[in-house]
Structure 1
Amino acid sequence: MSRVLITAGASGIGRAMAEAFGAAGARVWVADVDATALDDCPADWGRTVCDVSDEGSVAALFGEVVAGFGGVDTVCLNAGIAGPTALVEDIRLEDWHRCLGVNLDGAFLCAKHAAPVMKAQMAGSLIVTSSTAGLYGYPNRAPYAAAKWAVIGLMKTLAMELGPFGVRANAICPGSVEGPRMEGVLVREAAAKGMTRDEVYAGYASGTAMGRFVEAKDIAAMAVFLASDAARLVSGQVIAVDGFTVNPDP
């Protein structure tokens, strides 16, 4: 895992991943669509502005990373957006396409450009950030759930195609993660359901056996494990980090 690329790595889960990999001794490169957030990252990280839904941007990113690192050992396919919070009949097609464009197309494009590099090395680890929405589905989140189910299918196919070259692929499914993105979801869902933000929050928390949200550092710790030699034969797996969801429809 000595050379790690993380998409959407300048904030949130991606930033926590970058910090955890750095603490584990890895060389870190972060890509993000937010140039200002990238400017706030540590100076010793590689940094590239990248829109993962645009193939030209992704190709340029991998060109920079390979030139700078001489290859890449781990790619965290982490970029994603929450998408609209609405009943399916109220979702605009353009919002559907935008959500899948970042969450699904972005993962595909990064995997497409990582695969030749890792196959040539005969080693590598691809870690896809899915969601518990990709395990159960969620009302009022049709585009997001569809994308997060789809990236699991993509991951399993990558594990099959790339396994003979020593490349592993796995997916992490975070539950409700404390932070700005989930905060926006809570507010929008509260409005859609005629509830308060705190009522929605309590519903999500009570839907887990451990009765709480997870933190970005919990997701990051799993990513570091999956990239490590301790997980050298772990591939094609979907691992939830969610406090055990027992009621996916809070």
Structure 2
Amino acid sequence: METEKAAGKVTDWDGGDLSASLIEREEQEEREAQEKKEAQALAEAEAEKEAKELEEARELDSENVRETDADGDSNGYGTTGQESGEETEEGASEVPEEEPEISEESTEEDAEGDKNTSGESEGAEEAPENESVGEDVGTFEMTAYVAFCDTGCTGITASGYDVSSTIYSPEGLRIVAADPGVLPFGTIIEITSGGNTFQAVVLDSGGDINGNRLDLLVESEAEALEYGRQDVDVRILGQ
């Protein structure tokens, strides 16, 4: 999103009729307001469509999980149980009296192996996410922007979050735009500026937001202009 606007307009009445110019200006403002309303309605429709598709996908996943569970229950074994059962049957002809003991030990070992393997895999995946938690990432230049503007701001962030009527995330954090290559979407940060400290989450990006740049979502253009440009200290709190 474009985040900065010129602070002031100069109107040059070149000998024309003042009242006609005022009417033309009012008509232009009405057209702009109508365009914004249409853009907002389109954004809301897109958000509703995405939410519906997400809900349908979740329902389909739930049905697949139920079908998988039903298949497992119908034969009395999970994947590990089937393999243990086959090994037990093969060993039954040689040592019948030890069949229950072998089956139980095999099942427990398989379960432990799966558990350990799963734990190692989860740990390997989580490690990168936690590497930078609590890290001071330095000084950033921060400006401020609003949800709607004449240069393409539609009230929907680059991550798909609707900010047409709020400047806060679902968790109650302030919303900022950042360079995804520096701070990916979903990164929770602590911002310190002029002795004031608050938490924010990265849910947006912008063409002018590159490198150590942040853009804070505010409620009005006046507030954005008043904020100007400020140097802030940033610390990563989590993902």
TM norm. shorter chain > 0.5: no
Task: Give the TM interval when normalised to the shorter protein.
Answer: under 0.3
Superposition TM-score, scaled by structure 2 size: 0.23
Bigger relative contact order, structure 1 or 2 (CA pairs below 8 A, ≥6 apart)? 2
Higher helix share: 1
